[in-house]
Chain A
Amino acid sequence: QKEVEQNSGPLSVPEGAIASLNCTYSDRVSQSFFWYRQYSGKSPELIMSIYSNGDKEDGRFTAQLNKASQYVSLLIRDSQPSDSATYLCAVGYSSASKIIFGSGTRLSIRP
């Protein structure tokens, strides 16, 4: 059974601080990793994808992948109240026909 685990939260972070979201996955042989943001009442939207070990930066967002430890994280710098949402981690396993979603972490940015 392929699994993607996330802490459900809520994670509360003060405005302007760095929010750190973590995700672990069960299968070492995984190829693709994604972070989605879902606002309440809206559908998930893709924030970042990462395929190789290391960091990938896009504006205030940085995805970090460590395949040896089987985790992927998302850092949000200079957190804003508009970042308050649920963040979903998704993993593409080479042995599976589809990507697997975690249950999401609720992030709350307090002014």
Chain B
Amino acid sequence: GAGVSQSPSNKVTEKGKDVELRCDPISGHTALYWYRQRLGQGLEFLIYFQGNSAPDKSGLPSDRFSAERTGESVSTLTIQRTQQEDSAVYLCASSKNHRDEQFFGPGTRLTVL
């Protein structure tokens, strides 16, 4: 496919469990971003990868959150010991280079019971 894909589309988990969210960026896009969007709220930047540079982790809300990306391919966002306040839609976006237009995936809706 030509767009950004994310999986799963929905995830329901119990408080305290770990979850892993996946993002497949558009081929050739060197920049990849993760955002969190709570219901009725704006985009909250989490982390940004640009090529082989060190990621910008300045938006990660706690050390329970981490993300990895191998080269310019797939990225995974991991949330450990999930809490109810982690419930949100997690959006991934990619762009050719930083400061270029970003293209968003459909998101993963996470519900922590």
Contacts and interface: CB of A to CB of B under 8 A. Distances in A.
Contact of B42 (A32, A43, A46, A104): A104
The range of chain B's interface size is: 20 to 34
Nearest to A43: B104
B100 A32 contact: yes
A44 interface: yes
A88 B50 CA distance: 23
Contact of B43 (A31, A45, A49, A88): A88
Interface of A: 31-32, 34, 42-46, 49, 88, 90, 92-94, 96-99, 101-104
B25 interface: no
A17 B69 CA distance: 46
B106 to A, nearest CB: 6
B101 A101 contact: no
Contact of B99 (A43, A46, A98, A104): A98
Interface of B: 31, 33, 41-43, 45, 48, 50, 56, 89, 91, 98-107
A32 B99 contact: yes
Contacts of B103: 46
A98 B45 contact: yes
Contacts of A96: 99
B100 A98 contact: no
B99 A101 contact: no
A45 B40 CA distance: 17
